[in-house]
Amino acid sequence: MTRHLLDRLIQSAVVLAVMSFVIYGLMGLMPGDPVDLMISANPKITSEDAERLRALYGLDKPLIERYANWLGAALGGDFGFSRLHAKPVFEVLIPALGNTVVLLGASFALSLLIALPSGIWAATRPYSKTDYTVNLLAFAGISVPPFWLALLLIIVFAVLLGVLPAGGMGTVGAEGLWDTLKHLVLPVATITIASVGGHTRYMRAAMIETLRQDYIRTARAKGLPESRVVLGHALRNALIPVVTIIALDFGTLFSGALITETIFSYPGMGKLIFDAIMGNDFNLALIALLFATVLTLVGNLLADIAYVSLDPRISYGKVRS
Amino acid sequence: MTTATNTLPPPKGVWRLTFERFIEHRLAVASALALGVMVTAALAAPLVEALIGPADAVNLLARFAGPSTAHPLGTDELGRDNLVRLLYGGRVSLFVGLTAALVAAVIGTLIGLLAGYYGGRLDALLMRFTDGVISLPMLPLLIVLAALDLGKLGLPQAWVESEDVSLYRIIIIVALAGWTTVARLVRSSALALRARPFVLAAHAQGAGAARIMGVHILPNLASPIIVATTLATGNVILLESVLSFLGLGIQPPIPSWGNLLTNAQELIWSAPALAFYPGVLIFVTVIAFNFLGDGLQDALDPKALKRY
């Protein structure tokens, strides 16, 4: 187990290292460069000044060397300065990260709370009307464009009914828990609807597969009530593949956050990344993208741990007697 | 003897049986029909344009007009006809979706085939790579790719800024996100086929790796490839619409279902209907591709778990 975890940690570190280089390289290909941005703010700068600035900031050096310098600083805790926010990157990142964790955490929990029971419910009545309906709704959830869903929710609840705010995180002058919650409803609903379909289908498929096993027949033959068979015997095994797939889907969840946060102007990581890329804020975009990568990698690692602890048959690196 | 054989129903071909299984999946059949209508309508866009008027005819006196005989779905913020623009947008979105799904299928098939056939180290390497790509936060990375200045790669600026390039660029970008599912499905099927007697026989006859993969294994991978490509098409259309909505995909004045919604958010208070139509079309198209993929899976792989 420890050995396996170590392997996975090293793997994740490799992915992260490769991604940091790739993203760093891509940032260099974004339109405009930092010196151009300074020139645009100050027309008196001559081309010699620009060259001097380039040399000062090390922009005339080869990519590898610039990357090495950046990496050294980043590892030392210096993430640079955000151009858009005029603050150190780290100070911008942390509150946004907190907001996204709240948004994704709530959506993820809500999605599972709906998906697991309905997946199980549908699986215990395969090919029935109920199953059919659940499947139809699940497909609808998977296929709906999340940004359009968000627009529809805004039209219905903010424009037509006027009961919920169309965006932001709080009303000025009316702050409080209730106000915060009201601002969370539509973004959370968007991400939940977009992810609940996939979760339901995974749960249903895994449950149907498990219910066909011999030990389930044994449990039924012993005369156990159906609820014990399903929830006691089948669920634990059916959850194993579900946990893996759902955790691998964490990247998708984050993509949902980017769209949702951008539309609802919710100040989280997704909006931060989008604004940073659009606003040529290279330092911020770079670190925020890497943070998002770390988040998904950590999600995958957690899934791996859950996978092992749910399934007693899997015991990495241990010889069983 | 002859009378006994005469009572048997005539034998049916493989495709006939597949078709009969497909017909049973009512949602998939309905989806196939819906997609047929959608493609026909998109192809007929110039005809509709001839009837209603040019797609880019601005008429500031008829902004946000409601449905009428002249404009069956009303007009947008510049008085342009919604129906004609939706149809032209459909041409672009469907073209990008289908092309990108094909590109994704080619990449995925190549990687999955190599990994599954050779196995061992190459398999481990390719699948680690695939898993790595799957685990990435895709959308932010695609946004970066879409925002890149290709001119910085030393490509001629005029070429970089041409309309065709923005189209090919979005195709490649969304294909980059779509190949992983194909690769995984193809790999697991190829892995199973590799040990089958007919592959061993080909090997014993001295066939090379390329021949075995191309002639013996690839035709047997048709089912997973068709299913994965169909499902990928839905995802790819969804992704294109997201990027175009954010202003990073298909650039106006070329309409696509995604970028028709870009303005819709600002106009949400004055013209909520504008936000409705393009989204419905994306939704219907994507769900139809998903149902179609589901139905094809049941039809092409009768041994698999029956869904509907």
* CATH number of the domain where residue B38 is located: 1.10.3720.10
Query: Given an 8 Å threshold on Cβ–Cβ distance, is A208 in contact with B305?
Result: yes
Tell me whether residue A4 is exposed, middle or buried, using C-beta atoms within 10 angstroms of its C-beta: 0 to 12, 13 to 18, 19 or more.
middle
Number of A–B residue contacts, CB under 8 Å:
141
Average pLDDT over chain B, rounded to whole?
A: 83
Q: How confident is the model at residue A191 (pLDDT cuts 50, 70, 90)?
A: very high
At residue A261, the pLDDT reads 94
Residues of B in contact with A262 (CB under 8 A): 246
CB A147 within 8 A of CB A153: no
* Window from A136-150, B72-86, B233-247 with minimum mean pLDDT: B72-86
Collapsing DSSP states into helix, strand and coil, what is residue B101? helix
Residues of A in contact with B240 (CB under 8 A): none
Collapsing DSSP states into helix, strand and coil, what is residue A77? coil
At residue A111, the pLDDT reads 94
Q: Which residue of B has its CA nearest to A126?
A: B307
Q: Round to whole Å and give the CA distance between A248 and A196.
A: 15
- The CA distances from residue B247 to A254, A257, A273, in Å, are 19, 17, 15
Winning range, highest mean pLDDT, from A59-63, A115-119, A169-173, B51-55: A115-119
As a residue count, chain A comes to: 321
Residues of A in contact with B274 (CB under 8 A): none
Q: Round to whole Å and give the CA distance between A21 and A34.
A: 19
Does B29 map to a domain? no
Tokens encoding B132: 């790595």
Q: Round to whole Å and give the CA distance between A222 and A75.
A: 60
At residue B114, the pLDDT reads 94
CB A282 within 8 A of CB A269: no
Tokens encoding A191: 């991400």
Averaged pLDDT for residues A255-262: 90
Residue range A36-60, pLDDT digits in tens: 766 766 767 777 777 777 777 777 7
| Chain A interface, best mutation among B139, B242, B303, by max A CB count within 10 A | B139
Does B95 map to a domain? yes
Collapsing DSSP states into helix, strand and coil, what is residue A88? strand
Does B64 map to a domain? no
More confident residue, A17 or B55: A17
More confident residue, A91 or A190: A190
By C-alpha distance, which of B29, B259, B292, B287 is closest to B146? B259
Q: Round to whole Å and give the CA distance between B101 and B177.
A: 10
B196 interface with A at CB cutoff 8 Å: no
Residue B189: which domain range? 34-46+75-301
At residue A244, the pLDDT reads 77
- 0.90 surpassed by complex ipTM: no
Report the amino acid identity of residue A220.
R
Residue range B148-179, pLDDT digits in tens: 877 777 777 777 777 777 788 899 999 998 89
Tokens encoding A208: 């149907």
| Alpha carbon of A175: minimum distance to chain B alpha carbons (Å) | 25
| Chain B interface, best mutation among A10, A132, A148, A213, by max B CB count within 10 A | A148
At residue A243, the pLDDT reads 83
By C-alpha distance, which of B192, B185, B254 is closest to B223? B185
Contacts of A167-174 spanning 24+ positions with Cβ under 8 A:
A167/A263, A167/A264, A167/A265, A167/A266, A168/A264, A168/A265, A168/A266, A169/A99, A169/A266, A169/A267
Does B307 map to a domain? no
Residues of B in contact with A252 (CB under 8 A): 138
Pairing type for strands A87-88 and A81-82 reads antiparallel
Residue range A63-88, pLDDT digits in tens: 888 888 888 888 887 778 787 888 88
Q: Which single residue is written with the structure tokens 């950590």?
A: A298
Query: ∠B231-A15-B234 over CA atoms, to 5°?
Result: 10
Q: Round to whole Å and give the CA distance between A154 and A167.
A: 8
Does B184 map to a domain? yes
Under 8 Å CB-to-CB from A54, ≥6 apart: which residues?
Answer: A35, A60
Query: Given an 8 Å threshold on Cβ–Cβ distance, is B279 in contact with A152?
Result: yes
Residues of A in contact with B242 (CB under 8 A): 145-147, 259
Residue range B175-224, pLDDT digits in tens: 998 899 899 889 988 988 888 899 999 999 998 889 999 899 999 898 88
pLDDT of B307 over the 70 cut: no
Query: Given an 8 Å threshold on Cβ–Cβ distance, is B241 in contact with A30?
Result: no
Query: ∠A239-A244-A247 over CA atoms, to 5°?
Result: 115
Q: Find residue A88's DSSP bridge partners.
A: A81
Give the domain ranges of chain A: 2-88, 94-310
At residue A106, the pLDDT reads 93
Class of the domain covering A94-310: mainly alpha
At residue A318, the pLDDT reads 46
Q: Which residue of B has its CA nearest to A297?
A: B135
- CB count, 10 Å around CB of B44? 13
DSSP letters for B33-60: HHHHHHHHHHHTHHHHHHHH--TT---G
CB A111 within 8 A of CB A200: no
At residue A316, the pLDDT reads 54
Does B252 map to a domain? yes
Average pLDDT over chain A, rounded to whole?
A: 84
| Alpha carbon of B14: minimum distance to chain A alpha carbons (Å) | 26
pTM summary value: 0.85
Domain count, chain B: 1
Q: How confident is the model at residue A141 (pLDDT cuts 50, 70, 90)?
A: very high
Torsion of CA A258, A264, A269, A271, to 10 degrees: 70
Q: How confident is the model at residue A314 (pLDDT cuts 50, 70, 90)?
A: low
pLDDT of B304 over the 60 cut: no
B238 interface with A at CB cutoff 8 Å: yes
